[in-house]
Amino acid sequence: MTTATTKRQQSGDPLISVDDVTFGYGEVPVLESVSIDVDPGSFVGLVGPNGSGKSTLLDLMLGLRRPDEGTVSLFGEPAHKFDAGERIGYVAQDATKAARDMPITVREVVEMGRYPRRLFGRFSAADRQAIEDALEQVGITDLASRRVGRLSGGQRQRVFIARALASEADLLALDEPTVGVDAESREEFYGLIHDLNATGLTVILIEHDIGVVTTHATDVACLDRQLFFDGDPEEFVETDALSQAYGKDQHILQHDHE
């Protein structure tokens, strides 16, 4: 996408490197000896049953929490020292639900993604163009002056993706982004994420629907405190990692397939 991304892709260094990480909230262990790399340009689907530590691992990857043991590097730096806001578009669980109460327009949300790049507190012509391009890329130009709170869940998701694009993020991190979104909008949404990944944007997606993950992801990581599987989606469906990780919670998967 950007020149910086291209350079990193050429260098072949992982964009995120999690090395032998252990983490707990107080005495409660959540992650145990987890090691995983996220390569530039990849689309990593992070799956596992409820409470298996997916959101926690994402927090650690983005430097929002520090591991008890092990190390996490992000863009080649210790993750907790990195100012993640600059190069990462993060759509947290419930982010769009919170947006229901936002008394601001779609364009204003997308502009926020561009704030850090302003010079002397003002948008340049290039900034304005980047904002328009981001709106257009996710197909919400005609919604630009609408209030975010008045949009559907699927439309709000697009607004947040556009904000990430306006910031020229190198990495898009999505935590169950389509909860509560209807099947058609959901399919369209993942088509959009697929296309963005094809342009070089690295994607990490937490998602219970294994079908979505195996269709779009280039890598699957299956977690339940430990990493059960990390690799090719096709191999993943052939191994017993699914039943090992989900065990009695397999109904979660079936439910999402319906």
CB of 54 to ligand ATP, least distance (A): 4
- Of 191, 197, 205, the C-alpha closest to 93 is 205
Nearer to ligand ATP (CB atom), residue 36 or residue 166: 36
**30 touches 23 (CB < 8 A):** yes
Which residue matches tokens 């993060």? 90
3-state secondary structure 151-166: CCHHHHHHHHHHHHHH
Nearer to ligand ATP (CB atom), residue 41 or residue 45: 45
First vs last Cα of the chain: how many Å apart? 35
Q: Is 241 helix (H, G, I), strand (E, B) or coil?
A: helix
Of residues 12 through 71, those in contact with ligand ATP by CB under 6 A are: 25, 30, 48, 50-56
Using CB under 6 A as the binding criterion, the count of chain residues that bind ligand ATP stands at 10
CB of 234 to ligand ATP, least distance (A): 24
Nearer to ligand ATP (CB atom), residue 53 or residue 67: 53
Task: Please enumerate in sequence order all residues whose Cβ is within 8 A of that of 118, keeping only pairs 6 or more positions apart, or say none.
Answer: 124, 127
CB of 193 to ligand ATP, least distance (A): 19
Of residues 69 through 108, those in contact with ligand ATP by CB under 6 A are: none
Length of the chain counted residue by residue: 258
Give me the helix-helix angle, 125-137 and 153-166, nearest 10°. Answer: 140
CB of 65 to ligand ATP, least distance (A): 9
One symbol per residue from 109 to 138: x for binding ligand ATP (CB under 6 A), - otherwise; what is it? Answer: ------------------------------
Nearer to ligand ATP (CB atom), residue 64 or residue 102: 64
Identify residue 185 by its one-letter amino acid code: S
In whole angstroms, give the CA distance from residue 51 to residue 201: 28
Which residue matches tokens 């090691």? 35
CB of 232 to ligand ATP, least distance (A): 22
Nearer to ligand ATP (CB atom), residue 3 or residue 50: 50
Q: In the chain, count of helices (H) and strands (E)? A: 11, 10
Nearer to ligand ATP (CB atom), residue 40 or residue 153: 153
CB of 251 to ligand ATP, least distance (A): 14
Residues that bind ligand ATP (CB under 6 A): 25, 30, 48, 50-56
